[in-house]
Amino acid sequence: MSEFQTKQTKTELSTSKKVIILVLVFLGGWLFGAGQMNFKANKSTTQKSLPSNLNYADVERVYDELRSNYDGDLDVNKLMDGLKEGLVAASGDPYTEYMSPDKAKDFSGQLNGTFEGIGAYLGKNDQGNVIVISPVDGFPAEKAGLQPRDVIVAIDGKDSTAYSVDQAVEKIRGPKGTNVKLRVIRNSKEDLSFDIKREQINIPSVESKVINNNIGYIKISRFGDDTSALARKAAEKFKADGVQKVILDLRGNPGGYLDSAVDVSSLWLKDKTVLTERRDGVTIKTYKTRGSAPLLGIPTIVLIDEGSASASEITAGALRDNDAATLIGVKSFGKGSVQQPQNLDNGGILKVTVARWYTPGGKNIDKQGIQPDKKVEISVDDIKAGRDPQLDAAVSQ
């Protein structure tokens, strides 16, 4: 559940030996994007105290003892994957992660927003627990009542507190029509159980409409490869229709392509900074708006909640810091780091936290989130009754 720093190309993400550099955002516990850059140009490291190579003598000793004495079947590929997963997990960073070839294949499904499961984006909190980042509107997880930041402690009756996000995703996903049982802890006190039937999940990237005759409403559920074009098409239609106000709904949006976040911000902003990336406190890249801004000057409300993460936070922060929008809702998720993945020869993917991103106002929101200008909550009773006080507040603002 990671922005993608990409150069726009027509090359799609593959598991070839080509190096693909991305800056990732959350999406379903997976972080995804596409593009190609020169990996060697980013090889600088802050880990100068570490040796250039590891001594694997002890690892070989463990392998030899395991191979000689283990009573059971061993799979060398699984052993190698476990070795890589353990090495990366030792960083202590929940966003630095090794994905095995099988898990890497799911990248493309997430990229297109199509998979079989319950429709919930997963990540980890500061304590290393697997949590729900956001349930997807209209799909089983949301209908069952899962909420952002629910801690998943058991899956199908098995303790999941030591699971990685990948492991949790693997256990929760499954063929449509089958069920998965989740036990979650909410707000550190409520112990809840859910029995959820899996479905085919097809997540639309952008939905738009005109409400009350003069308000343009656009909901972006993820920043995918089609988001830039769809959002621009909606913005240009809003302008042609003469809307007097725009509502940008980023609730439950876990992120996606950084390029898409820049493009969406550019619909409102002209010649402005969207974000900067810093490493060791030094700015290494500044992202500026590009293209025409059809919604420039049109009063805009951005809806955010605890499920709004990374690319969503970049967009919300850019619009507010540049005085282009007012934020309504509740505090966003809070992910201000960027990951750079590399395709490995075995078909796996390694992604590493390489920098922190900052809003135009110079704020890094990691673990803090973005506070709305106007706080409006949605209660359980509101959800059950089909009420949306946050959208109502945006319409009446």
Same domain, 154 and 175: yes
Same domain, 234 and 368: yes
- Buried b / exposed e over 249-263, threshold 16 CB at 10 Å, is bbbbbbbbbbbbbbb
Q: Are 24 and 4 in contact (CB under 8 A)?
A: yes
Give the active site residue among 310, 312, 332, 337. 310
Domain count within the chain: 2
Same domain, 120 and 132: yes
- Domain boundary residue among 146, 177, 201? 201
Range from 4-18, 271-285, 312-326, 381-395 carrying the lowest mean pLDDT? 4-18
The answer to the question of residue 266 being in a domain is yes
Give the active site residue among 124, 219, 272, 335. 335
Report pLDDT digits (tens) over 84-138: 989 998 998 888 888 888 777 776 556 566 788 999 988 888 788 999 988 888 8
- Domain boundary residue among 201, 225, 253? 201
- Domain boundary residue among 156, 182, 201? 201
Same domain, 280 and 188: no
Same domain, 327 and 224: yes
**Residue 361 structural domain:** 204-337+349-396
Same domain, 326 and 388: yes
Report pLDDT digits (tens) over 323-368: 999 999 999 999 998 877 788 998 888 988 888 999 999 999 998 9
The answer to the question of residue 228 being in a domain is yes
Same domain, 127 and 230: no
Report pLDDT digits (tens) over 6-29: 333 222 333 232 222 223 333 433
Give the active site residue among 106, 263, 305, 321. 321
Query: What is the model's pTM?
Result: 0.73
**CA dist., res. 279 & res. 356, Å (int):** 6
Catalytic-residue membership of 310: yes
CATH number at residue 298: 3.90.226.10
pLDDT for 46: 64
